[in-house]
């Protein structure tokens, strides 16, 4: 799953893809690198991010979604296409944005609130037959990193995801259309994130494809800084910059693959995809290209 943020304030690439043509070109590049899903977001969910209106979010994402949907994939016949047609995902918690995005060609709703932020969202997903991703988040982006605490982070995240899965199915969303995401970095300390990755197999027991999003996140930056021989004068290393966190992103995704995750939300598709291919081959689980485990 390639990340495409059309926002001015995302933590890693905010402002880079505000121009529609640039955003669509980047989507094409991610697909050429091997992305099977393109996740388009028009509202930052970084820690401390301020919400934006649905109208503003739609102004950002709709032209990009339409541009991606209009890309030429080399023929209508699947046998003659140069590459599989990617799944377009809309990263939103607003029903109105999801509805418009689905009409523009999206087929997956990635809701960081797990259908809690907007009471109409579950109906939009159920009625459309779209796939959806339900993510765990403690609180909301403005407050989620304000001293997050758990008795047992894995048990609590698992119970939450199980409850949201049951809710979605009860409201008419087909279970086979649902993905689950433990929400790495969303209301978790670095140790919480590592514990979730270490025990990811317990979440896979829920029986749905597990999405992992560690790409360029700050806990990786802190680990990489601490492992570097270069510390600051006070001996407290500063987190390395987001674009310098590829090694941590690759390591965490390879571990997540070994623990049972099947969808990897990343900025650096080619590098992470290559690492995952080698890891999968080593584990004897070489993935079939063009057949995502979400379908």
Sign of CA dihedral 259, 264, 268, 271: positive
What residues contact residue 111 under an 8 Å CB cut-off, 6+ apart?
92, 93, 98, 117, 121, 132, 133, 134, 135
245 is an active site residue: no
Catalytic residue among 46, 158, 245, 265: 265
Angle made by CA atoms 64, 105, 111, in degrees to the nearest 5: 80
The whole-angstrom separation of Cα 236 and Cα 67 is: 45
265 is an active site residue: yes
Angle made by CA atoms 272, 274, 106, in degrees to the nearest 5: 60
Q: Under a CB-based contact definition with an 8 Å cutoff, are residues 51 and 290 in contact?
A: no
Q: Of 275, 280, 215, whose CA–CA distance to 248 is shortest?
A: 215
The whole-angstrom separation of Cα 70 and Cα 261 is: 31
Catalytic residue among 188, 208, 217, 245: 217
Residues designated as active site: 217, 265
């Amino acid at each position: 799953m390639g990340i495409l943020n059309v926002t001015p304030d995302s933590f890693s690439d905010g402002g880079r893809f505000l121009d529609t043509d640039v955003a669509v070109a980047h989507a094409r590049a991610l697909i050429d690198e091997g992305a099977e899903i393109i996740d388009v977001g028009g509202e930052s969910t970084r820690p401390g991010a301020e919400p934006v209106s649905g109208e503003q979010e739609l102004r950002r994402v709709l032209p990009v979604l339409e541009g991606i949907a209009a890309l030429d994939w080399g023929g209508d016949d699947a046998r003659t296409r140069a590459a599989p047609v990617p799944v377009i995902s809309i990263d939103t918690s607003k029903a109105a944005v999801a509805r418009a995005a689905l009409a523009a060609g999206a087929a997956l709703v990635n809701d960081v609130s797990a259908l809690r932020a907007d009471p109409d969202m579950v109906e939009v997903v159920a009625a459309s037959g779209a796939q959806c991703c339900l993510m765990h988040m403690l609180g909301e982006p403005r407050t989620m990193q304000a001293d997050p605490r758990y008795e047992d982070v894995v048990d609590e995240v698992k119970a939450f995801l199980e409850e949201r899965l049951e809710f979605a199915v009860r409201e008419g969303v087909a279970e086979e259309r649902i993905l689950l995401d433990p929400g790495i970095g969303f209301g978790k300390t670095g140790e919480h994130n590592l514990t979730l990755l270490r025990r990811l197999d317990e979440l896979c027991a829920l029986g749905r494809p597990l999405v992992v999003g560690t790409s360029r996140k700050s806990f990786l930056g802190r680990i990489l800084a601490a492992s570097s021989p270069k510390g600051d004068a006070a001996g407290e290393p500063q987190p390395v910059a987001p674009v310098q966190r590829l090694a941590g992103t690759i390591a965490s995704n390879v571990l997540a693959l070994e623990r049972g995750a099947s969808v990897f939300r990343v900025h650096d598709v080619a590098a992470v995809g290559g690492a995952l291919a080698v890891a999968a081959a080593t584990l004897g689980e070489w993935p079939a290209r063009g057949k995502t485990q979400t379908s």
